[in-house]
Amino acid sequence: MTQIKRKSDTKMVPVPSMAIVPERDIDKAPVLEARHLGIEFGGLKAVDDFNIIIGKTEIAGLIGPNGAGKTTVFNLLTKVYQPTTGTVLINGKDTHGMNTVQANKAGIARTFQNIRLFNNMTVEENVRIGLHNQVKYGMFSGIFRAPAYWKQEKKQHEQALDLLSIFDMQDMADVKAGSLPYGAQRRLEIVRALATNPSLLLLDEPAAGMNPHETEELMENIIKIRDKFQIAVLLIEHDMNLVMGICEGICVLNYGRIIAKGTAEEIQQNPVVIEAYLGKQKEA
Amino acid sequence: MKMSKKFRSNLLTYGLVIVAFILCQLAVEKVIPGFKMSRSLKGQLVPICVYIVMAVSLNLTVGISGELSLGHAGFMSVGAFSGIVMSAWLVNAFQLENETIRLILAMVTGGVFAGVAGVLIGIPVLRLRGDYLAIVTLAFGEIIRNVMNCLYFSLDGPTLHVGFNNPNLPGKLVVNGPTGATGVDTISTFVMGFVLILFTLFVVLNLINSRSGRAIMAIRDNRIAAESMGINVTKYKMMAFVTSAVLAGMAGALYGLNYSTVTATKFRFDTSILVLVFVVLGGIGNIRGSIIAATVLTILPEVLRAFSDYRMLVYAIVLIVVMLATNSPLLTGLVERIRPKKKTAAKEGEAQ
């Protein structure tokens, strides 16, 4: 097993708005910048004043107790919800007024906490859906089998198998996605998201339901994906081994607000974080 | 390997239709002594073709796109009347007597007009989901029928006159409001019906196995995931809906030109439901199933004439029995045991 590149290898440096990014990304424009992001559901502030900057090739973590609003943040970033306040910039581009489809085209791809695969389609077809906007041909080329159809179908097939090879899943290409084992379904979701050619990959609890061995493998693969595609990853995870192991910058959320930001060591030492997770120690 | 599996399945569908067509032609032409077709069944040949096309096209909306539409007969109606008018106009304006060319042009016209209706209906309707969509498409079917009851078309030489609630048009009336189209040239043939089926299969099967078709199925399987993969939901739902409407319009034109009299009441809610029954019974999303169900269920009432008064009762019982049988775990288990090859192949795939 190859040695996982631990967080301690990365030196984190502050950027103007007090956020931190990996040192290697300091000269590059951040892939994601959220400013004062917030959403209210009938008076309840599910997320409030959320600020984050993610470097070009950073692996960032978003953690917090259950119901802290982590998935809501993902839904705001991918425009499933329209924020009531604040802005989201993807590669410096304001996403105001965009819908989910446009956010994806702008360079943001995600996986889901409760797996959302196209269960009645095969593994390869699932990846091909991810390639939908990368390898194109029109409806009539498809119906009348124009030369574009054959050329682009071949290209899609090759690219899909190439992407599946990240997780050694080429052999499963013809299996129905719904009949895959749980861990493989999670991996397929990541491949499918990668197929949309994103600059930021959002992973919602990628290790949920995986055994320690699978989690270890996943950690390696996330780093491998980052290195190969040179993209940023933001992940929500409850498995602290994974978060502390690979995340360079970590953001802790509680009751919809950021309570701490920093590197793994800083987060582990932070009394506010410990309180949020374990509760306040009673004064004797 | 995978492509060949789909290819084989499609080939089987085409083969089934072609073999059935050849058998029917042999029976009609009485080539083999003793192998012939009853007069009533012969009259059913074109309607069977029409219902097959209707079922396959509705399956595109219901099975592939996953939207319950209850107004499919509406598109058939638009196609039928525009096809009839086109066919009559071609004779008057160009003295075009060639029946095949007239029929083809009439079917194209029917398809175009039904497609336009599909776009107009689709824009508001496809924003709705589930039951609401079903209710609105049902209402649409009724609106079309009522509008057709008030429309009058007449031909004065090559000029076409249209009247709304106004039968006093110059020239000869082609479509006469509630009386419908009378004195229609019955130019539909079984051969053209067969060609239309092949065309429908070609369009639908090729669409399903293309980039657009996969997008349509992805939206059906998981709308939110499809959106976050960058798939434009409205565009692809519209694509399925309008393609389905165009094919229904072409079938409508074939149907309209098969009878000397066609009234708007022919395309009632019952017809929409009848086509939906074909789709459900043949298996939602299963194109070959739709073809078989449409054929069997169109012939069945004729075959059941022996039961005279109890005909529709037996028809209903057959429907219920087939539904129960295809959903019974006992029977499906038996089928899987007979075909163990498929099961083990699937298991191997899982194990990997």
> What is the model's pLDDT at position B352?
38
pLDDT in tens, B274-307: 999 999 888 888 999 999 999 998 888 878 777 7
Q: Is the pLDDT of residue B125 over 90?
A: no
**Cα separations in angstroms, A42 against A45, A77, A244:** 8, 20, 35
How many C-beta atoms surround the C-beta of residue B235 within 10 A?
15
A139 with B349: Cβ contact below 8 A:
no
The mean pLDDT value of chain B amounts to 88
DSSP letter, residue A29: P
> What is the model's pLDDT at position A282?
67
How many C-beta atoms surround the C-beta of residue B299 within 10 A?
15
The strand pair at B159-164 and A257-262 is best described as: unpaired
pLDDT in tens, A100-150: 999 999 999 999 999 999 999 999 999 999 999 999 999 999 999 999 999
Which neighbouring-strand residues pair with A33? A53, A89
The strand pair at A249-254 and A232-236 is best described as: unpaired
**Cα separations in angstroms, B290 against A28, B18, B273, B283:** 57, 16, 14, 7
Facing residue for B229 by CB, picked from A132, A174, A175: A132
Percent of chain B surpassing pLDDT 70: 95
> What is the model's pLDDT at position A1?
41
User: What do you get for the CA distance between the two ends of chain B, in Å?
Assistant: 17
- Given pLDDT bands bounded at 50, 70 and 90, which one contains residue B142? very high
* CA distance, residue A229 to nearest chain B CA (Å): 18
B292 with B322: CB under 8 angstroms? no
Instruction: Tell me the average pLDDT across A9-29.
Output: 71
Q: Is the pLDDT of residue B329 over 60?
A: yes
Instruction: Tell me the average pLDDT across B50-69.
Output: 94
Residue numbers in B near A119 (CB within 8 A)? 221-222
Which domain does B89 fall in, by range? 2-351
> What is the model's pLDDT at position B233?
93
Please give the backbone phi and psi of residue B173, each rounded to the nearest 5 degrees, phi first: -70, 130
> What is the model's pLDDT at position B341?
55
Give CA B131 to chain center in angstroms: 22
Please give the backbone phi and psi of residue A176, each rounded to the nearest 5 degrees, phi first: -65, 135
> What is the model's pLDDT at position B344?
46
Instruction: Tell me the average pLDDT across B266-274.
Output: 90
DSSP letter, residue A15: -
Instruction: Give the SS3 label for residue B332.
Output: helix
Q: What is the pTM of this model?
A: 0.88
Of B216, B217, B213, B193, residue with least CA distance to B205 = B213
User: CATH number for the domain including B135?
Assistant: 1.10.3470
Of B135, B107, B142, B117, residue with least CA distance to B242 = B117
Q: Is the pLDDT of residue A2 over 60?
A: no
Of A167, A201, A199, residue with least CA distance to A184 = A167
Mutation choice for A interface testing from B7, B224, B229, B235 by most A CBs within 10 A: B229
Of B113, B125, B107, B77, residue with least CA distance to B241 = B125
> What is the model's pLDDT at position A102?
94
* CA distance, residue A107 to nearest chain B CA (Å): 10
Distance separating alpha carbons of residues B244 and B266, to the nearest angstrom? 20
Name the domain count of chain B. 1
Strands (E), A153-280: 200-204, 232-236, 249-254, 257-262
Residue numbers in B near A124 (CB within 8 A)? 2
> What is the model's pLDDT at position B349?
43
Residue numbers in A near B2 (CB within 8 A)? 122, 124, 173-174
- Given pLDDT bands bounded at 50, 70 and 90, which one contains residue B1? very low
- Given pLDDT bands bounded at 50, 70 and 90, which one contains residue B351? very low
Task: Report CA dihedral (B124, B130, B135, B139) to the nearest 10 degrees.
Answer: 40
Of A268, A229, A261, A275, residue with least CA distance to A245 = A268
Place of tokens 């119901």: A67
- A-B C-beta contacts closer than 8 Å: 110
Distance separating alpha carbons of residues A96 and A106, to the nearest angstrom? 12
pLDDT in tens, A168-220: 999 999 999 999 998 899 999 999 999 999 999 999 999 988 889 999 999 99
- Given pLDDT bands bounded at 50, 70 and 90, which one contains residue A39? very high
Pull the structure tokens for residue A176. Answer: 């129905």
